[in-house]
Amino acid sequence: MSLEEKVRDIIVDKLGVAPEKVKPEAHFIDDLGADSLDTVELVMAFEEEFNVEIPDDDAQQITTVKSAVDYLGKKIGE
């Protein structure tokens, strides 16, 4: 499974949205109906799935699907 697909699955699972809504430019809060606690939970799920630690400063930059994929890609060195 590609990084994009893994990220999408986590978002679908955590936010309970349809997979087709998880477009790269989709904003977690504005487009996918997340609240602030959801975004923290998403980051926690990313940390677990990809076995990385995401500092709070970085976490705040992860606001869209694309920013999550880009960040995690860099973090795990793909």
The CA distance from 75 to 73, in Å, is: 5
How far apart CA 59 and CA 40 sit, in angstroms, is 8
Q: How far is the CB of 26 from other proteins (least distance, A)?
A: 21
Report how many residues bind other proteins under the rule CB under 8 A.
4
Catalytic residue among 31, 35, 38, 56: 35
Residues 18-57, interacting with other proteins (CB under 8 A): 35, 37, 41, 44
Q: Select 43 or 72, whichever has its Cβ closest to other proteins.
A: 43
Residue 47's region, left for phi above 0, alpha for psi from -120 to 50, else beta, is alpha
Give the 3-state secondary structure of residue 31. Answer: coil
- In whole angstroms, the minimum distance from the beta carbon of 48 to other proteins comes to 9
Check if 35 is active-site.
Answer: yes
Q: Which residues are known to be catalytic?
A: 35
